Amino acid sequence: MGQPTHDTTTTSAAGAKPADANPAESNPTSEANANPTAADQLTGAAAMFANDRASQHLGITVDDHGPGWAQCSMRVSEIMTNGHDITHGGYIFLFADTTFAMACNYPGSITVASGGDIDFLKPTHLGDELVARGHEVIKQGRSGIYDVTVTRGDEIIATYRGRSRTLPPRK
């Protein structure tokens, strides 16, 4: 499959699923994906998350995803709190970065971060349920920009902007 077939895309609403999104293609555990092609077994968001031991260890779950967007959830555990009894920013960054990775890894591609920035807006605490929604802002060639919003209920607690680079196909 290689790179996505488009040169440029934009997503207008944060966290909104594209109108043409196929739920069977976007859910990594769906029956339609039970027998993926050889390329899909090695690449794409579902394959990447299956091997992401750090995110799984923290209890991050992928609620749903598709090309250019993703939604993940995480509950703040005791190990994630710092000396101020709030969530350590590194865990919020990792959570947002995992959601970014799910949004930018199209089937058939291997996409990595070339950079990322986060703004922490409100503290979170032990037991808080966090949701991160990421979407593609623009994709041009092998480079992309993605925004992720991390929320607790209706409150925005952090915003993240990730820059991606799709690697050339392996030889």
Give the pLDDT of residue 82.
Answer: 97
What is the dihedral angle through the alpha carbons of 140, 71, 2, 51, rounded to the nearest 10 degrees? 130
Architecture of domain 23-29+36-166: Roll (3.10)
Domain coordinates of the chain in residue numbers?
23-29+36-166
Does this model's pTM top 0.85?
no
| Percentage of residues in the chain having pLDDT higher than 90 | 65
Give the pLDDT of residue 20.
Answer: 37
Enumerate residue ranges in the chain where pLDDT < 50.
1-36, 38-40, 42
| Structure confidence by residue, pLDDT tens digits, 41-51 | 546 888 889 89
